[in-house]
């Protein structure tokens, strides 16, 4: 661990942030659509989250599940990169301080 350059830990956090959004954003999209459109006023009534997901995929395609995700991809990649890098450097500093 001590031989690993610090930048590698920061770079390792980038795909973690991307995968976090890639997996989680569709769930958020469905949740928001259920909250926003699941009233009689909007004319759309979803039976459940599976029905909502199927409707999004049928009407908008896979892109519909990721609408608005660009800022999340950038933000989470940056956040995860910082978390990985700072954690690694702090851990290395504390291990060296003990020795």
Kindly report, residue by residue over 52-82, the tens digit of the pLDDT.
999 999 999 999 999 999 999 999 999 999 9
Does residue 26 contact residue 66 with C-beta atoms inside 8 Å?
A: yes
Structural domain spans, the chain: 6-98
Does residue 37 contact residue 60 with C-beta atoms inside 8 Å?
A: no
Q: What is the model's pTM?
A: 0.77
Query: Contacts from 51-57 at CB under 8 Å and sequence distance 24+?
Result: 53/26, 56/29, 56/30
């Amino acid at each position: 661990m001590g031989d690993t350059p610090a930048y590698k830990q920061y770079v390792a956090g980038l795909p973690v942030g991307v995968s976090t959004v890639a997996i989680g954003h569709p769930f958020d999209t469905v949740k928001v659509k259920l909250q926003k459109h699941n009233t009689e006023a909007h004319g759309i009534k979803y039976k459940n989250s599976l029905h909502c997901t199927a409707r999004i995929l049928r009407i908008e395609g896979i892109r519909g599940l990721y609408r608005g995700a660009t800022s999340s991809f950038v933000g989470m990649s940056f956040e995860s990169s910082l978390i990985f890098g700072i954690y690694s450097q702090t851990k290395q500093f504390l291990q060296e301080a003990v020795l």
